[in-house]
Amino acid sequence: MTRPPKNWPAHVQYSTVPYFHSSVSGDALSFLKGGDSKGISLPSAPPSLGGIRPIVDPSHPAHGQHGLFATRKIAAHTLIVEYIGEVHSDERPTSDYDISLYRFPGGENVGVDATAIGNEARFVNDYRGIRPKPNAQFADRWTARGDLRIGIWSLASGIRKGDEIVVSYGKSWWAARSLS
Ligand SMILES: C[S@@+](CC[C@H](N)C(=O)[O-])C[C@H]1O[C@@H](n2cnc3c(N)ncnc32)[C@H](O)[C@@H]1O
């Protein structure tokens, strides 16, 4: 088992490989695991280029929480970290750590929920109120053997060492929460 990074919360399981929930269909598993639906030897996520830090600035909108910060200069269009979590096909409407992975034409909607198990990626905040615009984005990441994952990738400007890594969660993410 990989040792959790600095500032990792005790109530969350740290993992560098996805966990597949029983709600994911066999067909979806074969597709997502690059044909190896037995789940042996899942490729580990590469080391994160971001480190977890507590947000101590009172003017930061996520003050009291944590964020992900570049531990070195990150070039444009670089994989910063894979979004590891529980891969699932059931509904998780109350999760704040759930990202959509793939929608199958037949209707199965697979997400990655890092509420209870995950890696550094679960600490990426939305740019609103933090920086004028995102410096990273969620996008597909295919492993060398053909597993489909979600990656957090730097945008064209690259990221300076020490900067907070921020994405856009999307207007609908915030709209859903302002109504609740
Ligand atoms: C995926 S988590 C991000 C990591 C979180 N800050 C933590 O320490 O666990 C999403 C949560 O972070 C907070 N968050 C992220 N971006 C934010 C922003 N721009 N303004 C306010 N809160 C934000 C919200 O509480 C949101 O539900």
What's the token pair of residue 3? 């040792």
Best probe residue, ligand 1, of 81, 95, 126 (max atoms within 8 Å of C-beta): 126
Cα-based torsion angle of the residue sequence 142, 173, 73, 148 in order, rounded to the nearest 10 degrees: -10
d(CA 46, CA 23): 27
For 63, phi then psi, to 5°, come to -55, 135
Which pLDDT belongs to residue 40? 60
What's the token pair of residue 105? 């034409």
Which pLDDT belongs to residue 176? 85
Could you tell me which of 14, 3, 46 has the C-alpha nearest to residue 149?
46
What amino acid is encoded at 42 in this protein?
L
Could you tell me which of 129, 139, 136 has the C-alpha nearest to residue 160?
136
- Residues 81/152, Cβ–Cβ less than 8 Å: yes
Which pLDDT belongs to residue 39? 52
- Give the pLDDT means over successive 10-residue stretches in the chain (180 positions): 92 96 94 70 92 98 98 98 98 95 96 98 97 97 93 98 97 80
CATH among 3.40.50.300, 1.20.1090.10, 2.170.270.10, 1.20.200.10 for 13-179: 2.170.270.10
Atom of ligand 1 nearest to the CA of 66: 8
Which pLDDT belongs to residue 180? 47
Which pLDDT belongs to residue 149? 96
Q: Is 96 in the pocket of ligand 1 (CB under 6 A)?
A: yes
Which pLDDT belongs to residue 175? 87
Which pLDDT belongs to residue 48? 98
Tell me how far the alpha carbon of residue 127 is from its chain's centroid: 15
Which pLDDT belongs to residue 179? 54
Q: How far is the CA of 61 from the centre of ligand 1 (A)?
A: 8
- Which residue minimizes the CA distance to atom 11 of ligand 1? 96
